[in-house]
Chains A and B, each alone.
Chain A
Amino acid sequence: MAEKASESSNSISLNTVDGKIFKVSPTIANQMQTIQSLIKAYDSSRVISLPHVNAFHLSKIIEYLEGKSATTVSAVKEFEAQFMKDLSLKQLKGLLIAVGYLKVNELLELMPKTVAKLIENKSVEFLRKFFGIVNDFTPSEEAKIREEIAWAFDGVDED
């Protein structure tokens, strides 16, 4: 996939933290702002190391950047929906961090929107369970917060 798309001579090599080398076209590379600025700073023939991104996340990002170039608006929407659906919650979080680091603008729009949709109308208990977050408030801290924002606790979805 990534390797195939980058046969051209001016492709850019990216080395992930787990030692896998990806060759991508400048069009793809330039959609990752962090890499774009690294290309400018480095000699273009050099392999760019990405110490904060693993191969799985980079391959997903490339898959997205290639896939969203579909011709019609509805095809892009469908692709984006499927792309998000295929990710597990753990993958979503890891990918979100990678996307934040590489500054892939379109995914920085799509992914937080997807996470926000998961949060909307959900109870605090549901969110903790869903995202695997341990409640680290003391009982008195929690009681205080609940009192302050009591108005926000009504009308949530059934868990």
Chain B
Amino acid sequence: MASPSESSQWSTLPKNLLKEITNRLPKPCDYVRFGAVCKGWHSFVHKSYKQKHLLHVHQNIPLLLFPTQDQELRCLYNITQGMVYNQFQFNLPNKRCCGSSYGWLFFVDKMNKSTLDLILINPFLGHSKTIKLPPIKFCYEHAVDRMDQYRVLKVIFSKDPNVFPRDYEVVALYGMFARLAHYKSGDKFWSYAKVIKMEALSDVIFYKDLILAVNRYNWIVNFTLEPKRRIQSTNCSPSYLKRNTLMKQLPRKLRNCAGNAYLVENSEGNLLLVRRCFWGEDMIASKEEELSSIVDFKVYRLYCSSSGKELRKERTRTLNGKTIFLGDNNSISVPTSKYPQLQPNSIYYIDYYYVVYIRNYQFGSCDTGIFNLENGNFDKHYVPNF
């Protein structure tokens, strides 16, 4: 072994020690700079990058994307530390980000009368890492040109395409009535569900092997990919999405309508339904015109029937020590035991996009906060300062 007086050979440290050191670099920017020091460290970082990236995405709670003084640049906000990472300066499209999943961000690249192009950017992998998907067929429904970026409500991945480049799926909720489209890596076209008027899905998740979607009236559907009986043209997908109702919707009355609804898988693999209510029942009775800020969240645990064809819901008033993150992102649940800085049994939420859209908030954030499910109290996680 080298004597202590011999010149430093940090570049040739054994891999297990490099791992011990880099595991303690919490910020991705420190980690990638470490890999730029010399060939030895670079090959270590490069080899373990996929794993590290996966760990980062799966073990870390979401970061909020933030505007900076420069319109073109955005930085990150870390909720656990209550701190803006100014050293992250991401050059991203200057438009609404319509969802995030496994560290990837989705933007509407361009839209014309019948198609809509999505672009996927992973800022953690550098500018060169973008994925272009085939265009989504889009029916021109009273579209307003400047609202391109609101045409897609949410997009999520089944797996990280950086780790599973040949084996990932994408689903998008798009259009005026929030319909579902599905894409599998390698396919030439998206597959679509048959049109139902006023479907208006509000959330979708990949849960175990299912694609589950919910609307604001508690309608929960499992979408399965089925071959088309008649293939009319080679210019489209040979499959379509079939709806299988797992929970029937409530009668379409205002009191049954949630402000928004989300599906979440918690860290134990249980399925939760979260209903975000913008108004209380007493308010509906009295003054509907004053429906404004968020009033309540209700959480239900969903149980599958033995046949697997139905879901049953049961109201719960605790998250068993977990914290849930809801927004246009892939819904996330993390055990608070791993992140003592987070408030347990709480829901961290950001604006529901549609509210922002109709009010046209220039600076985005108008309804973000923390809701404690056990005591019903609201708190703030970030107060914008413009």
Interface string of A86-118 (1 = CB under 8 A from B): 000111011011101000000010011101100
Q: Let me know if B25 and A151 touch, CB within 8 A.
A: no
Nearest opposing residue in chain A for B1, CB measure: A52
Cα(A137)–Cα(B35), bound, Å: 12
Q: Let me know if B13 and A154 touch, CB within 8 A.
A: no
Interface assignment of A54: CB less than 8 Å from any CB of chain B: yes
Interface assignment of A38: CB less than 8 Å from any CB of chain B: no
CB within 8 Å of B: which of A126-146?
Answer: 127-128, 131-137, 142, 145-146
Indicate which residue in A52, A116, A136, A149 contacts B33 across the interface (CB closer than 8 Å): A149
Indicate which residue in A98, A108, A145, A154 contacts B36 across the interface (CB closer than 8 Å): A145
Q: Let me know if A127 and B89 touch, CB within 8 A.
A: no
| Min CB–CB distance B28 → chain A (angstroms) | 7
Interface assignment of A148: CB less than 8 Å from any CB of chain B: yes
| Min CB–CB distance A39 → chain B (angstroms) | 22
| Min CB–CB distance A55 → chain B (angstroms) | 10
Q: Let me know if A113 and B24 touch, CB within 8 A.
A: yes
Nearest opposing residue in chain B for A122, CB measure: B33
Nearest opposing residue in chain B for A94, CB measure: B4
Cα(A123)–Cα(B87), bound, Å: 12
Interface segment out of the listed B120-128, B299-307, B376-384? B120-128
Cα(A89)–Cα(B25), bound, Å: 19
Q: Let me know if A116 and B25 touch, CB within 8 A.
A: yes
Interface assignment of A83: CB less than 8 Å from any CB of chain B: no
Nearest opposing residue in chain A for B9, CB measure: A93
Interface segment out of the listed B15-23, B177-185, B227-235? B15-23
| Min CB–CB distance B87 → chain A (angstroms) | 3
Q: Let me know if A93 and B10 touch, CB within 8 A.
A: yes
Interface assignment of B42: CB less than 8 Å from any CB of chain A: yes
CB within 8 Å of A: which of B22-51?
Answer: 22-25, 27-30, 32-39, 42
Interface string of B339-381 (1 = CB under 8 A from A): 0000000000000000000000000000000000000000000
Q: Let me know if A119 and B21 touch, CB within 8 A.
A: yes
Indicate which residue in B5, B23, B37, B86 contacts A128 across the interface (CB closer than 8 Å): B37
| Min CB–CB distance A83 → chain B (angstroms) | 16
Contact partners of B87 in chain A: CB under 8 A: 121, 152, 154-156
Interface assignment of A12: CB less than 8 Å from any CB of chain B: no
Contact partners of B4 in chain A: CB under 8 A: 54, 56-57, 90-91, 94
Q: Let me know if A119 and B25 touch, CB within 8 A.
A: yes
Cα(A108)–Cα(B20), bound, Å: 7
Nearest opposing residue in chain B for A137, CB measure: B39
Interface assignment of B385: CB less than 8 Å from any CB of chain A: no
Cα(A151)–Cα(B5), bound, Å: 38
Interface assignment of B293: CB less than 8 Å from any CB of chain A: no
Q: Let me know if B27 and A120 touch, CB within 8 A.
A: yes
Interface assignment of B81: CB less than 8 Å from any CB of chain A: no
Nearest opposing residue in chain B for A89, CB measure: B8
Interface assignment of B90: CB less than 8 Å from any CB of chain A: yes
Indicate which residue in A53, A113, A152 contacts B32 across the interface (CB closer than 8 Å): A152
Cα(A146)–Cα(B89), bound, Å: 15
Cα(A152)–Cα(B25), bound, Å: 13
Place the interface of chain B in its size category: 35 or more
Interface assignment of B59: CB less than 8 Å from any CB of chain A: no
Interface assignment of A150: CB less than 8 Å from any CB of chain B: yes
Interface assignment of A5: CB less than 8 Å from any CB of chain B: no
Interface assignment of A81: CB less than 8 Å from any CB of chain B: no
Nearest opposing residue in chain A for B85, CB measure: A155
Q: Let me know if B89 and A151 touch, CB within 8 A.
A: yes
Cα(A150)–Cα(B3), bound, Å: 38
Given A53-B1, A149-B36, check contact A93 B127 (CB 8 Å).
Answer: no
Interface assignment of B94: CB less than 8 Å from any CB of chain A: no
Contact partners of A90 in chain B: CB under 8 A: 4-8
Indicate which residue in B24, B42, B89 contacts A112 across the interface (CB closer than 8 Å): B24
Interface assignment of B82: CB less than 8 Å from any CB of chain A: no
| Min CB–CB distance B132 → chain A (angstroms) | 19
Interface assignment of B88: CB less than 8 Å from any CB of chain A: yes
Interface assignment of B270: CB less than 8 Å from any CB of chain A: no
Interface assignment of A124: CB less than 8 Å from any CB of chain B: yes
Cα(A135)–Cα(B11), bound, Å: 10
Given A97-B13, A97-B14, A127-B33, check contact A136 B38 (CB 8 Å).
Answer: yes
Interface assignment of B83: CB less than 8 Å from any CB of chain A: no
| Min CB–CB distance B130 → chain A (angstroms) | 13
Interface assignment of B198: CB less than 8 Å from any CB of chain A: no
3 nearest interchain CB pairs?
A: A155-B87, A116-B24, A112-B20
B-contacting residues of A (Cβ < 8 Å)? 17, 51-54, 56-57, 89-91, 93-94, 96-98, 100, 108, 111-113, 115-116, 119-124, 127-128, 131-137, 142, 145-156
A to B CB contacts below 8 Å, 25 in the list: A51-B1, A54-B4, A90-B4, A90-B8, A93-B10, A96-B17, A97-B1, A112-B17, A112-B20, A112-B21, A115-B21, A116-B21, A116-B22, A120-B25, A121-B30, A127-B37, A128-B38, A134-B11, A134-B38, A137-B39, A145-B35, A152-B32, A152-B87, A155-B87, A155-B88
